[in-house]
Structure 1
């Protein structure tokens, strides 16, 4: 199991001793997933936080009209999960899907709680992750309210250049809040400028 990327991710926010790193790594499980694997279905309880060692994942919902709404993309070096379900241990409303074959490092809710007790630095680490997620979600909400579709797409491209050519266009359209047809016309218009 390669944990270098994960330990670098943690080191951005907290310093762990060698013993703390070893305890943490002993609580992680590795999972390799093929493209199109659904890791979590809506109505299931999220039991893990997923760290992406390689690959691309997305979280999404499906409305009553069977239309998908992409909430988030996550690639190498990112964490993903259904935060509501993970924290409350109630059934969630998100699907989490592997878009590009992935190697994931899983931390169970139970092991996360053990880490909080044995290594209190992890409370700080996960608090920082949750705060960053809250800020990003608020920023995205404000963008959806105040920016045009073109501006939202340009912002997506600048924030996630590694995803633009790897994620299906219809999913990017869903993420920025437009139909695939509108997205295609908008993109064509932008290219002709």
Structure 2
């Protein structure tokens, strides 16, 4: 059941009473999301943050020419939203889509604000989440600016092997900022060096 997964996840970072936990659980909505379902479309106002109970999601940006750039993936026990637009209640810059059949927990911004006011440990929990996300994205930007594509791909595989096996190669390529063809070339080169 999702209660146990989210409870264990929360308790890795904060202590909650049973009453506080029950309040949190009353505010999240469980949803079963079939593969290819979009939880958020670019341009819609972003009101929610999502916890992945099972499955996998991705957030991507679609440019004017129709090219997708994957910004982030989210698998079991990860959170995902268009953070800038969520915090500022703005139209989303990103689309969030299920890349596998998934079960997610949805938390509305108003309910998160209520948690901040009534259950102070949640401010700590989401601060930790935001700090970790900021650090991860800062490192990713630095790597994209300073490392060749081959090294970025190796680091992605090393750090996110559990993600790499679940997503399409073109989605990994767009996450790395390269074309799918260039990623295929990198993979062929790796295979040849192993022979």
- 1:34-77 Cα deviation digits (max 9, x unpaired): 00011101111111110000001000001121110000001000
Task: Give the structure 2 partner of residue 67 of structure 1.
Answer: 67
Cα shift readout 1:7-50 (whole Å, capped 9, x = no counterpart): 11111211001111111101111000000011101111111110
- Counterpart residue number, 1:174: 174
Using the size of structure 2 for normalisation, the TM-score is: 0.97
Cα-Cα RMSD: 0.9
Match of 1:98 in 2: 98
* TM-score (norm. length: structure 1): 0.98
The equivalent residue for 1:118 is 118
Query: Quick one: distance in 2 between partners of 1:75 and 1:12?
Result: 17
**Aligned residue in 2 for 1:40:** 40
SS at match of 1:39: strand
Give the structure with the higher percent helix: 2
Aligned residue in 2 for 1:78 = 78
How many angstroms does 1:129 deviate by? 0.6
- Structure 1 position 149 matched with structure 2 position 156: no
Is the partner of 1:162 in helix, strand or coil? helix
> 2:11 maps to what in 1?
11
> Please, which runs of 5 or more residues in structure 1 have no aligned partner?
none
**Inter-partner Cα distance in structure 2 for 1:166 and 1:114:** 35
Q: Does 1:165 align with 2:165?
A: yes
For residues 167 and 66 of structure 1, the distance between their equivalents in structure 2, rounded to whole angstroms, comes to 20
* Gap runs ≥5 in structure 2: none
C-alpha deviation, 1:165, in angstroms:
2.0
Aligned length: 193
Q: Secondary structure at the match of 1:192?
A: helix
Once residues 165 and 4 of structure 2 are traced to their aligned partners in structure 1, the CA distance between those partners, rounded to angstroms, is: 26
What stretches of structure 1 move > 6 A for 4+ residues in a row? none
Q: CA shift at 1:104, angstroms?
A: 0.2
Q: Is the 8 A contact 2:45 2:89 kept in 1?
A: yes
